Structure 1
Amino acid sequence: MAITAPEQPGTLPDDAAGVLAFARRQRQTADAAEARLLAAAVQWAVIHPADSVEDAETYTFRSGLEGVIPIAGPGAPLVAEFSVAEYAAALGLSTEAGKHYLGQAVELRYRLPRLWRRVMAGDLPAWKARRVADATIGADLTEAAAAFVDTHVAPVAHKIRPTALDRLVEEAIGRFMPDQAEQRRRDGLDRRHFTVDRDHVSFDGTAYVTGELDLADAIDLDDAVRGLAAQLADLGSEATLDQRRALAVGELARRQLTLDLTPPEVEVRAQRATKPPAPRRTPVRKTVLYLHLTDHALTSTGDGIGRCETTRKPVTATQIRDWCGHPDTHLVVTPVIDLHDHVHVDQYEIPDRITERVALRDLTCVFPHCTRPARRLHPDHHGCDHDHTTPYRDHPETCSHGIAPLCRRHHRHKTHGGWTYETLEPGSYRWTSPHGYHYLRDHTGTTAIDPADDNPAEPGPPDRD
């Protein structure tokens, strides 16, 4: 296939040297713009300091009102909590990503002044300085330790590698934070973990598993997996060794072939003299599926596509059949929910039949750029609040079309931070920021409605739920 030039005649050079020169100029322009954006972030923090929040010293999160938050390391100024969301939205970022960006800017300005001066002078790309700020914030360095890093990194920040930066941060901790250094050494013993990544399931229905084990435990696990993989080969499996090892882990998890936690045989015989042994339960799979099917999908024998709600990614119908058809799977069929139904009750409390529809319709918190799941997907996670889009006192009815999921942070922004929104249609919302900017949030994501050079109108008073 032939390569064609971009459809911008007259704006791009047509020779190699010209393209390189053009690219270098654009890179310089982009670096200068990024430096100005960092400066604007610092100015935003200056305009919204901690003392701009009423009763900041007596504030508690239990009140739900605005507080002050640290966004950079010790010694950097605090900022008003609700100010973060609006700056983030203006940059097209989630609130958490915007907080992270503001923190990098403030960290550079107040704790890494040598790096800051290089960025403002156009001598250092902003992204390289932000990488250093990430390291010092993440390590929670004291002011003296951060100054040590700034002194040694600033002259070589344009070429330092991440590994060298990490070593310098470790040295700063050892020199200026001896107590923390000893604690980090002790914490290293707790790095052991075994993690199944349920949040990133592939299209083929696989997931990543990572872990750091004691050496003896790792060897035992490897022996068990190797042995069971060999048994699968003896039984006629034509899968590759890696595939059989992956299958062996699943069999170990369901049948606990090597994790026999029953008492020794002598103790078992003694127990049998007094009472029968407790039955051993074989673990079963628990799979929750929400299927949107057509008549053709019910009758066709071909492959289709489903969606895994945990990851909001597609999976093949064949993979779903494999999951449900496994002999250890306990399958429960729940009634079909028609999301077009208008369910309402004459009460403030929201029943499960409404919250279920809202979670399936919106999937996530509906604040601009937020992606927190509407439903609690893991036991240690917090599900979204279900907010009355029109205050209940003004319209004393609870209905599925008048409820929207908001995570706790953005529920507080809506109730106490000056953000307002309205439902254009079920699943589509128009938000207005405290400074009058507008954002459309629907199933496609977040879209800024106002032109870049438009002056927003003065916002009205926020509705209170």
Structure 2
Amino acid sequence: MAEPTTLPQPPDAAGGASARELLELASQALRARRMGEVAEIELAIQWAVIHGQPRDDRDPMVEPAGNGTPALREHAIPELAMARETHPLTTRALIADGLDLAHRLPLTWAVVRAGECEPWVARKVATITRGVTAESIGTVDRAVSRAIRGHAPSTVLEIARAKAIEADPEGHAAAREQARRARYVTLSRADEHGYRCVIAKVTAGDAAWIDAMVERVAQILRTTLGADHNHDELRSVALGWLARPVELLKLLLEHTEIGTDDETGEVVRPAWMPEDALATVERFCTLPARRLARLRNRGQLFVHVSEAVLRAGRGVARVEGVGPVDVRQLHEVLGNAEVTVTPVLDLRGRRRVDAYEHPEDVKDHVWLQTGGDCFPFTPRTAVRDGVDFDHAVPYRSPDTGGSPGQTGPHNSGPLRRQHHRTKTFGGYSSRVVGPGRHLWRTPSGLAYLVDHTGTSRIDAEQAETMADSVQDGVEIYVGHSLAYEPA
């Protein structure tokens, strides 16, 4: 007989407590967590208040919350995000929800501040009702404040949605029309097994035809791949065929009988083939193989793999835009594409150029050296084509006293466009303090180091020492220093 599972012992603060006392401690911990979240929201509101006026004409203001709430400086948001160790968009959402609660949903906000409900539910209500006008939001606030204490979150959110429609039917109709036009196709992030979801919003008619085509290809693949694949797996494989139109057309033609009507003599087309497709098919059949090969899509893919993994054929590779995958899965990413392998870049060289523009080889060096967007607490999910290569120390033309060799890995970092704007106009500064190491300082004097370990906060004295020493070719690390010869 198996031994009974031993439950983990309670923490020291609850050691020896009875069941009733543990329940009381659980209630106290719940309230403490809620009040901690309330404190975060209040700090975000106050941050918006003290940054409610632009510094100059080039300091943009934004209104992240709903109608009737104050604006704040756009470039003040990332500094609070750094202090909270979050992405600026996460902090912007917190500020927006806080302003909505304080200015548009005061009755609900009072319940939240008393610790009598889950703050995340109130924040979700603020998001749901953001489009309701300031004149009508009171109807929602009164209903939600009565329900949020004792009802389940799903019930509260349902009440909020219903009251939002009731309070502002015209606004709801406009939002519904806007949603109808907001069509898209996007990809999820890769999971731990290297698979992604294709997410699309299309018309009902297009969705039906896509589904029918996927089903037809899946039926064909059942005969070619064998019966050891389940139907959902075959449909997933079939969707990938839609990205290869030449191969797809060949597959469909090989498994479709096209005959003639016995009475009229007209060609009988399959359902998937439009009326003018026969002429197109005949044209395809006359094209030489080289011309057909050119119909393939072209693209550039960055795959990072160590020499040891490459030699062993086992391990992890990182594919930009996808994430980490088993190196044996690379064939799934590359498919049957024609692959051109470019030489590995030697990161020991530190080329510098005089021009403002970054040459492509310098961009490659900076990108590989940094590994992604170098803004503090930013996920490394950016792709090379989606960033600006920014001079850490602003470039000065030689005509105005600028020194030679300002552009290179020693003075460059990849930044998404929004982060680039924040650095340029928001009063932030950065320095490259070693290969792949970026020192950031905020308008209020906070300092952060971004390197291969992530983002860490450092004190102002350390930051000053790092910034000064790198000019002499010395990298300063916590606890030791490492000298290198400047290029």
TM-score by length of 2: 0.76
Find the partner of 2:328 among 297, 318, 323.
318
Q: Report the equivalent of 2:77.
A: 84
Give 1:252 deviation, angstroms. 3.8
Does residue 1:251 correspond to 2:260, yes or no? no
- Residues 38 and 230 (structure 1 numbering): CA distance in 2 closer, same or farther, change over 3 Å? closer
Superposed counterparts of 1:286-435, under 5 Å? 286=299, 288-294=301-307, 296-300=308-312, 302-311=313-322, 313-324=323-334, 326=335, 328-371=336-379, 373-376=381-384, 383-393=386-396, 395-397=403-405, 398-435=407-444
2: CA distance, partners of 1:176 / 1:28: 32
2:447 and 2:9 map into 1 onto residues whose CA distance is 33
Q: Deviations over 1:170-190 (max 9, x none)?
A: 444544434333334444654
Where 1:143 maps in the other structure, the secondary structure is coil
Residue in 1 aligned with 2:145?
A: 154
Q: Aligned to 2:173, which of 182, 187, 192?
A: 182
Match of 2:374, SS state, is: coil
Q: CA contact under 8 A between 2:68 and 2:134: conserved in structure 1?
A: yes
Aligned-residue offset at 1:108: 0.7
1:145 is aligned to 2:136: yes
* Amino acid aligned to 1:292: V
Which SS does the other structure have where 1:345 is aligned? coil
Question: Which among 201, 209, 224 is matched to residue 235 of structure 1?
Answer: 224
Mapped to 1, the partners of 2:54 and 2:223 lie a distance apart of 70
Asked if the contact 1:285/1:330 (under 8 Å) is kept, the reply is no
Q: Is the deviation greater in 278-287 or in 367-376? A: 278-287
How far is 1:77 from its partner? 0.9
Q: CA deviation at 1:112?
A: 0.6
Distance 1:144 1:416 in 2: 35
Residues 188-235 of structure 1: per-residue CA shift (max 9 Å, x gap): 654665x351x4123433221234555554444444333333333333
1:424-443 C-alpha deviation (Å, 9 max, x unpaired): 32112222222222222122
Counterpart-to-counterpart distance in 1, 2:332 and 2:44:
51
Question: Cα–Cα, structure 1 residues 340 and 173, in superposed 2: closer, same or farther, change >3 Å?
Answer: same
3-state SS of paired residue (1:149): helix
Q: Distance in 2 between matches of 1:277 and 1:330?
A: 20
> Partner residue of 1:53?
54
Whole-angstrom CA distance in 1 between matches of 2:343 and 2:408: 20
Secondary structure of the 1:340 match is coil
Q: Contact between 1:104 and 1:130, CA under 8 Å: does it hold in 2?
A: yes
Q: Is the 8 A contact 2:137 2:167 kept in 1?
A: no
Partner of 1:463: none
How many residues were matched structurally? 426
C-alpha distance in structure 2 between counterparts of 1:4 and 1:163, whole Å? 32
- Equivalent pair of 2:430/2:441 in contact (CA under 8 Å): yes
Q: How far, CA to CA, are the matches of 1:114 and 1:84 in structure 2?
A: 27
CA distance in 1, matches of 2:123, 2:196: 32
Distance in 1, Cα, partners of 2:343 & 2:168: 59
* 8 Å Cα contact 1:372-1:407 kept in structure 2: no
Cα deviation 1:144-183 (Å, max 9, x = unaligned) = 2322110110011134455545544444454443433333
- Asked whether the 8 Å contact 2:148–2:156 carries over to 1, the reply is no
Contact preservation (8 Å) 1:128, 1:158: no
Instruction: Quote the Cα distance in structure 1 between the aligned partners of 2:345 and 2:115.
Output: 57
Displacement after TM superposition at 1:105 (Å): 1.1
Question: Structure 1 residues 107 and 214 mapped into 2: Cα distance closer, same or farther (>3 Å)?
Answer: closer
| Match runs of 1:30-179 below 5 Å | 30-49=33-52, 52-54=53-55, 59=57, 65-137=58-130, 140-161=131-152, 163-179=154-170
Tell me if the contact between 2:101 and 2:126 (Cα under 8 Å) persists in the aligned partners.
Answer: yes
User: CA, structure 1 residues 367+322, in 2 after alignment: closer, same or farther (shift >3 Å)?
Assistant: closer
Deviation sequence 1:108-151 (CA, Å, 0-9, x none)? 111111012222233333223222212222xx210123221101
Q: What CA deviation, in whole Å up to 9, does each residue of 1:79-109 have, x standing for no partner?
A: 1222222222222222121111111111111
Offset of 1:70 from its aligned partner? 0.4
Q: Say if 1:390 and 1:402, in contact at 8 Å, map to a contact too.
A: yes
Distance (Å, rounded) in 2 between the aligned partners of 1:340 and 1:388: 20
Q: 1:106 to 1:352 in 2, by over 3 A?
A: same
Given residue 458 of structure 2, which amino acid in structure 1 is its aligned partner? Answer: I
